[in-house]
């Protein structure tokens, strides 16, 4: 069932020459390669990518914990880093949701805040709706699953664009896993404050992904993948999530590289 939700309706600009890139604090400290891959992929589409070195975190952890003043100070510091009137591409639906849909309340009355929020685009949303990208799949045939974060799905409404990108890959079969739209249980500080509930949720999510019998699952959110991959590794399973930016870069690169990668994953599967 599709959800017609007015908050997801927006006007998209034409393809810009330049964009800002928001890396997110999780990618910065834990998974920087996916950030690099996303930048490289955007550049390959003929877009110049600017990365302000002053960016840190969107403020969501403090915001979700109820500490709004603390979140506000951090949010304002982010806004100041992106002065040019060009799109800000962000490789996380969750941080994107924070900046696009929660900043207007958190930073109400701050000059230029509406314009800033209007410039926020989640990575897959940007590729599909702004760049109107056409992908040329050069990889080997494989089955994958897609995990869309709750913020990407329900705040940003970009689960559709993630699916659309995967469907453009001719050799990739997208398998729908059971309870696909159900939360993985991360929820930031929820996973600490109510760790037992969160733990049961991620156990179920990882089981449903394993049951889908895929070689990998793809997501555009490191929060979820930190959670799910951590659980899969704890269970000593070989299945892992990969950021959609890295995956798209790899699938559209020359064939040699992807054969090598596929051999590796085949070996991995045997080890399982």
Partner 1 sequence: MTSHINEPNESKYAKSARAFRGNVTRDLANDELRSNFRGAMDYLVDKRKNSFPSADELETLREQCKLIKQRCLLKLPHLLEQLETNLEANGIKVHWAETITEANEIIAQLITDKNGKTVVKGKSMVSEETALNDHLEAQNIECLESDMGEYIVQLAGQHPSHIIMPAIHQNKKQVADLFADNIDGFEHTTDVDALIGEGRRVLREKFCHADVGITGVNFAVAETGTLCLVENEGNGRMCTTVPNLHIAITGIEKVVEFLDDVPPLLSLLTRSATGQIISTYFNMISSPRKNGEKDGPEEVHLVLLDNGRSQAFADEELRQTLQCIRCGACMNHCPVYTRIGGHAYGTVYPGPIGKIVSPHMLGLEATNNLPTASSMCGACGEVCPVKIPIPKLLQRLRVESVKATTGKPEVMKGEGSGRKTIEAIIWKGWSLLHKHSILYNTSMWFATRLRKLMPNNIGVWTSVRTAPKLAPQTLHEKIKARQKLNTKKGDS
CA 270, CA 260: separation in Å to the nearest integer? Answer: 16
User: In Å, what is the CA distance from 76 to each residue of 80, 104, 156, 183, 263?
Assistant: 6, 11, 21, 29, 46
Contact 197, 240 (CB under 8 A): no
- Residues between 72 and 101 with contacts to partner 1, criterion CB under 8 A: 73-74, 76-77, 81
Q: Could you say whether residue 194 binds partner 1 (CB under 8 A)? A: yes
Q: Could you say whether residue 193 binds partner 1 (CB under 8 A)? A: yes
- Residues between 99 and 128 with contacts to partner 1, criterion CB under 8 A: none
Task: Tell me the closest approach of the beta carbon of residue 134 to partner 1, in angstroms.
Answer: 27
Q: Which helix (H) or strand (E) holds 122?
A: strand 120-122
DSSP-derived secondary structure for 24-75? -HHHHHT-HHHHHHHHHHHHHTT-EEE--TT----SHHHHHTT-HHHHHHHH
Part in contact with partner 1 (CB under 8 A); list of ranges 109-117, 137-145, 194-202, 210-218: 194-202
Chain centroid to Cα 231, Å, comes to 19
Among 90, 146, 220, 231, binds partner 1 (CB under 8 A): 231
3-state secondary structure of 194: coil
For partner 1, the closer CB: 154 or 177: 154
Burial class (CB in 10 A: 0-12, 13-18, 19+), 237: middle
- Residues between 2 and 31 with contacts to partner 1, criterion CB under 8 A: 2-5, 23, 25, 27-31
Task: Tell me the closest approach of the beta carbon of residue 153 to partner 1, in angstroms.
Answer: 8
For partner 1, the closer CB: 36 or 164: 36
Task: Tell me the closest approach of the beta carbon of residue 111 to partner 1, in angstroms.
Answer: 18
Task: Tell me the closest approach of the beta carbon of residue 21 to partner 1, in angstroms.
Answer: 9
Give the other-Cβ count within 10 Å of 235's Cβ. 12
Part in contact with partner 1 (CB under 8 A); list of ranges 34-42, 136-144, 240-248, 263-271: 34-42
Task: Tell me the closest approach of the beta carbon of residue 185 to partner 1, in angstroms.
Answer: 6
Among 140, 175, 230, 262, binds partner 1 (CB under 8 A): 230
């Amino acid at each position: 069932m599709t959800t017609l939700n007015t908050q997801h309706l927006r006007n998209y600009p034409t393809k810009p020459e330049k964009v800002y890139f928001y890396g997110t604090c999780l990618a910065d400290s834990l998974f920087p390669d996916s950030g690099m891959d996303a930048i490289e992929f955007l550049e390959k589409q003929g877009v110049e990518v600017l990365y302000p070195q002053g960016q840190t975190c969107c403020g969501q952890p403090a915001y979700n914990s109820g500490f709004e003043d603390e979140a506000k100070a951090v949010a304002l510091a982010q806004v100041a880093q992106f002065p040019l009137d060009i799109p800000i591409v962000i490789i996380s639906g969750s941080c994107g949701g924070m900046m696009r849909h929660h900043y207007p309340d958190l930073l109400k009355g701050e000059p230029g805040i509406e314009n800033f929020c209007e410039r926020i685009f989640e990575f897959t949303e940007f590729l599909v709706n702004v760049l109107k990208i056409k992908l040329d799949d050069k990889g080997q045939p494989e089955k994958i699953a897609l995990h869309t974060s709750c913020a990407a799905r329900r705040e940003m409404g970009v689960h559709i664009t993630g699916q659309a990108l995967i469907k453009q890959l001719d050799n990739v079969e997208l398998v729908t896993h059971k309870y696909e739209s159900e939360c993985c249980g991360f929820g930031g500080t929820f996973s600490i404050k109510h760790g037992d509930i969160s733990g049961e949720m991620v156990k179920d999510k990882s089981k449903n992904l394993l049951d889908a019998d895929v070689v990998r699952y793809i997501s555009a959110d490191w929060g979820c993948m930190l959670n799910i991959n951590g659980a899969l590794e704890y269970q000593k399973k070989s299945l892992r999530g990969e950021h959609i930016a890295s995956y798209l870069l790899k699938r559209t690169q020359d064939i040699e590289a992807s054969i090598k990668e596929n051999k590796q994953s085949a070996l991995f599967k045997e080890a399982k």
